[in-house]
Chains A and B, each alone.
Chain A
Amino acid sequence: MNKVKIATVWLSGCAGCHMSLLDIDETLLDIADRIEFVRSPVVDLKEFPADGMDVTIVEGAVANEEHLEILHEVREKSKLVIALGDCAVTGNIPSMRNNRIPPQELLERVYGKERTVNGTLPTEVVPAPRSGPAGARGHSGRHMAARVPAPGRGDRKGDPRAPRREDAGARGQGAEVRVKEER
C-alpha cells in the first residue's frame, strides 16, 4: 500500500494547530506506516517535491508576500488542501492588525527609529507584510474567501477566478483555502 503523502505548512500563526496535530499523541505513531510526512516544519525537506502531495494541511493566515507564494505552490502541488484552524479560515489573530494599522506603517512603528538601534527597516529578508485594502473592512466581506483554484482549472495569472488577496474581504489576510479535491 502506498503511503499517503502529507505536507503541512505554517503561515502566519502560532504553531498551535501543529501542536494540536501532535496532540493526537500515539495515534500519530499508530498510523506512521500509512502516512509519510514529506514536507513540514517538523521534517527536513525544504522544497515541495515536484510530484506533489496527497494532502497538505495549512495552518495560519496569509500575512506577507512569502505566505502567498507558499500558498500558491501548495495549491498547485496538492490534491487536497485543508485549512486548519481559525487563522487559516478567518484570519483570526494575525488579521487583527488590519483594523488598526497599514502594513508599511506597522513596519515603521516596529522597526523604525524610535524602537530599534539603527532604525533600518528589514527589507532584505523579511517578506513584505500584506493586509486587506482599506474600505474592505466590516462584516459584509468577512466570509468572502480567496478561492485558490485547483490545478488545471485555468491559468492562475490570467484567470479572473484566480486568487487575489484583495478579494479576501474584511479580515484581509484570512487565506481561506477551502478543501478542494482534484478531479
Chain B
Amino acid sequence: MKREIRIDPVTRIEGHAKITIHLDDAGNVADARFHVTELRGFEEFCVGRTLWEMPSLTSRICGICPVSHILASAKTGDAILAVRVPDTAVLLRRLMNLGQLVQSHALSFFYLSAPDLLLGWDSDPATRNVFGLFAKDPELTRRAVRLRSFGQQIIERLGGKRIHPAWAVPGGVNQGLSPKITAGSRRTSRRRSIRPARRSTCSRRRSGTTRRAGH
C-alpha cells in the first residue's frame, strides 16, 4: 500500500517548510520532498524600487540572517554603481558578517539542533527544546545564550541594532567604528555586557547611571 509520511511543519529550523516522504507498495521510500511553503514575492515587489531601498527591503527576507541579505544587497549596489568600497568599510562589513556567523551558528546549533543531539532523538517532544536543555544542563545553556548574544552585540555595536541594522549601503557603510560605538551604544548598555554576566552585575547595572547617560 502506498503511504505518505508528512512532517508539517518542520520545527526548529530557520524558516517555514514541510517534508513529505512517499512510500511504495513494499513500504520502501519511493520519493522524499522538502517543500518550502512560503511565497512572499520579494522577487516581484522589489522590481521598480530604488537601489537605496534594497538593503533594508531585502534584509527582511530573514530576521535570523539579515546581515547576509544586507551585505549581498549592498555589494550588488556597489557593482551597479561601479564604485570602489573603502578598505575600512570592507573590513567593517566583514566584521559584522563574522558577528552574524557567531550568532547564527549559536542559534542553529544550541537552540535548534542541540536538543536532538544532547537530549536524544527519542526524548519527550514536549521538552525536546532549548528549555529542556536548560533543565538538563543550565551552565551549558547559559553559555550558549551568551555566545549568541556576543554575536548579536557585535552586529548591534556596528549597526545600531541587533536585527535589520540599516547600516551597509551601496558604496560602503553609513557609520564608521568610532570610540563612542565601541564604548557601547545606549541600546547595548541596557543589555547585559559581552562579558559573562552575574546577577550582581545585572542589579548594579540596573541601578547605575550609565543607562540614562544617553537619554
The contact sample of 15 A-B pairs, CB cut-off 8 A, is A15-B62, A25-B146, A25-B148, A42-B112, A43-B11, A44-B125, A44-B128, A63-B39, A93-B57, A96-B57, A100-B48, A101-B44, A109-B44, A122-B35, A126-B35
Number of interface residues of B (CB under 8 A): 55
- Across the interface, which residues of A come within 8 angstroms of B107, CB to CB? 19, 22
**A176 CA / B88 CA spacing, docked (Å):** 43
* Contact A100-B45, Cβ < 8 Å, known A14-B62, A16-B66, A25-B192: yes
Q: Separation in Å of the A19 CB from the closest CB of chain B? A: 5
Type the 1/0 row for A42-74, where 1 means its CB is closer than 8 Å to any CB of B.
111110000000000000000110100000000
**Interface membership of B129, Cβ < 8 A:** yes
* Contact A29-B134, Cβ < 8 Å, known A15-B14, A23-B152, A110-B39: yes
Contact of A13 among B45, B63, B128, B192 (CB under 8 A): B63
Q: Separation in Å of the B65 CB from the closest CB of chain A? A: 9
B129 and A14 contacting across the interface, CB-CB below 8 Å:
no
- Across the interface, which residues of A come within 8 angstroms of B126, CB to CB? 38, 43-45
* Contact A15-B15, Cβ < 8 Å, known A42-B129, A94-B40: yes
Interface residues of B in 130-150 (CB under 8 A from A): 130-131, 134-135, 138, 141-142, 145-146, 148-149
Which residues of B approach A to under 8 Å, CB–CB? 8-9, 11-16, 18, 20, 35-41, 43-45, 47-48, 57, 60-64, 66, 107, 111-112, 115, 125-126, 128-131, 134-135, 138, 141-142, 145-146, 148-149, 152, 162-164, 191-192, 197
- Across the interface, which residues of A come within 8 angstroms of B43, CB to CB? 110
A46 and B41 contacting across the interface, CB-CB below 8 Å:
no
**A114 CA / B100 CA spacing, docked (Å):** 35
B44 and A125 contacting across the interface, CB-CB below 8 Å:
no
Q: Separation in Å of the B71 CB from the closest CB of chain A? A: 16
Which chain A residue shows the least CB distance to B8? A46
Q: Separation in Å of the B53 CB from the closest CB of chain A? A: 10
A110 and B145 contacting across the interface, CB-CB below 8 Å:
no
- Across the interface, which residues of B come within 8 angstroms of A42, CB to CB? 11-12, 111-112, 129-130
For the complex of A and B, the 5 pairs showing the least CB-CB separation, nearest first, are A16-B63, A14-B63, A97-B41, A43-B129, A44-B125
* Contact A14-B41, Cβ < 8 Å, known A29-B138, A29-B142, A126-B35: no
Number of interface residues of A (CB under 8 A): 46
Which residues of A approach B to under 8 Å, CB–CB? 10, 12-20, 22-23, 25-26, 28-29, 32, 36-38, 41-46, 63-64, 66, 92-94, 96-97, 99-101, 106-107, 109-110, 122, 125-127, 129
